[in-house]
Amino acid sequence: DAKTTQPPSMDCAEGRAANLPCNHSTISGNEYVYWYRQIHSQGPQYIIHGLKNNETNEMASLIITEDRKSSTLILPHATLRDTAVYYCIAPTTDTSGTYKYIFGTGTRLKVLA
């Protein structure tokens, strides 16, 4: 299984870039990296995903290292509404064909006014 490791919490000043790291050293070549966030106890919300190349959408940017062992989610101009728990996931399929979607405990980002 491609497990991920994230810092438990981070703070970021409003208007500044928030850089959330994730280690996934056991990821295999065809496994994507996904990022979701969860605000309070709402359902998790998809942010972005990538395989090898850096990705950008209207919410965030995803930077994946060349060796694919780690990635960074960047929120370019964090707002108070970005305060949430951010999950980095590397979905995989085990030898029996079962999909593994392991959320872990994520990084609790607090954006400070």
Partner 1 sequence: EAQVTQNPRYLITVTGKKLTVTCSQNMNHEYMSWYRQDPGLGLRQIYYSMNVEVTDKGDVPEGYKVSRKEKRNFPLILESPSPNQTSLYFCASSLSRPDYNEQFFGPGTRLTVL
Q: Which residues bind partner 1 (CB under 8 A)?
A: 31-32, 34, 36, 41-46, 49, 87, 91-93, 98-99, 101-106
* Phi, psi (rounded to 5 degrees) for 82: -85, -5
> Closer to partner 1 at the Cβ: 21 or 91?
91
**62-to-30, 32, 40, 93, 96 alpha-carbon distances in Å:** 17, 12, 23, 23, 31
Please identify, using beta-carbon distances, which residue of 40 and 81 lies nearer to partner 1.
Answer: 40
Residue 84 C-beta: closest distance to partner 1, Å: 13
Tell me the closest approach of the beta carbon of residue 105 to partner 1, in angstroms. 5
β-pair partners for 37: 45, 86
With contact defined as beta carbons under 8 Å apart, do 109 and 20 qualify? yes
State the minimum distance, in angstroms, from the CB of residue 41 to partner 1: 6
**H helix and E strand count, the chain:** 0, 11
Closer by beta carbon to partner 1, 53 or else 98? 98
